[in-house]
Amino acid sequence: MSNTYPSRVTITEVGLRDGLQMESQFVPTEQKLKLLHALIDAGVRRFEATSFVSPRAVPQLADAADLLRQVRRRSDVTLAALAPNAKGIERALEAKADEVVVFISASETHNRKNLNRSRARSLEDMRQAADLVRGTGVHLHAAIAVAYGCPFEGGVALQEVERLASSFAELGFHGITLGDTTGMATPRLVRERVDMLQRKLPQLPVTLHFHNTRGIGLVNVVEGLKCGVTSFESSLGGIGGCPFAPGATGNICTEDTVHLLHELGVETGIDLGALCGVATEPENLLGYALPGQVMHAGPRSRRYAADEALCAGGSA
């Protein structure tokens, strides 16, 4: 642990998955593709693009296979997809996802709400997932939902995160995301959890996924950076949430995160101006103002002409 920042981090854009799964309306595949391609043009290189879950559970992402089939592939762009069980993994592999992300909750109640099964059964699913993916060359990633606290059960013990993460390490998973599904993370909890994973399971690189539910998402990012984490998830305009967790609101916003990182001297490879241009698209598409701040205020380098503002003293 140090108090300096890494020189470069990877941003995974999750708006198309975590964001759109919350929307009441189905966003047509061609609109999703338009966003995806515009984000690639702005320099985003990693996406959680969709999920191969039950279309009854999440109808907004029922077009997962079509989306992956139609997207313009590039060798330097990774398209990850969420999958909850063997059927989802098989669909994701068939659609040629570059990475499969399986997920389990740190609390029993959230797991039952989200996946309709016990965590013991989900761990069996994870074993099956590892068997299916092993040898295919596809990157196998795990996500722990409600990793910092559960909206039903409250606090989540550090030992619980360690227990689940150890199972993933044993099964040969390539990386792990700590999901702050309902914005219950705090810098203290981030440090404690990241520190434990780095010490005990160094073979499992950590990605951090925050929601800005309580206004401390970017503070948690800074804490993650100080712990040496180089992989973060965020969503365009700050859309997002989990339909199976009460109170879940938007992810940390990609433009706001990129703006902060660049101001800290941390490279992302993303063109912030282009990104802010793309962020206005989902606002038009969804028909409401998104919580992103930099897309509205502009970066801190933005300047106004003096005559654009009123003068308190009458004439200047």
Of 18 and 160, the one with the shorter C-beta distance to Zn ion is 18
Site for ligand COA in 135-154 (CB under 6 A): 145
| In the complex, least distance from residue 248 CB atom to Zn ion, rounded to whole angstroms | 7
User: Which of 110-118, 154-162, 197-205, 271-279 is the region at the interface with ligand COA (rule: CB under 6 A)?
Assistant: 110-118
What are the backbone angles phi and psi of residue 74, rounded to the nearest 5°?
-140, 145
Amino acid at site 237: G
Q: Does 244 bind ligand COA (CB under 6 A)?
A: yes
Binding residue (CB under 6 A) for ligand COA from 32, 46, 91, 193: 91
- Site membership for ligand COA, residue 177 (CB under 6 A): no
Residue 239 within binding range of ligand COA, rule CB under 6 A: no
Residue 88: C-alpha distances to residues 55, 92, 129 (Å): 11, 6, 9
Question: Does residue number 233 form part of the binding site for Zn ion (CB under 5 A)?
Answer: no
Binding flag, residue 18, Zn ion (CB under 5 A): yes
Catalytic residue IDs: 242
81 near ligand COA, judged by CB under 6 A: no
User: Which C-beta is closer to ligand COA: that of 120 or that of 306?
Assistant: 120
210, 182 contact by CB (below 8 A): no
Q: Which stretch binds ligand COA (CB under 6 A): 108-116, 146-154, 188-196, 217-225?
A: 108-116
Range 213-234 burial, b when 16+ CB lie within 10 A, else e = beebbbbbbbbbbbbebbbbbb
Helices (H), 42-186: 64-70, 86-94, 108-115, 119-133, 158-170
Nearer to ligand COA, 70 or 116 (CB): 116
The dihedral region occupied by 116, where left means phi > 0, alpha psi between -120 and 50, and beta the remainder, is left
- Cα–Cα distance between 112 and 22 in angstroms, integer? 19
Q: Is 57 in the site for ligand COA (CB under 6 A)?
A: yes
Stretch that binds ligand COA, among 1-9, 67-75, 86-94, 283-291 (CB under 6 A): 86-94
**Number of Cβ atoms within 10 Å of the Cβ of 250:** 24
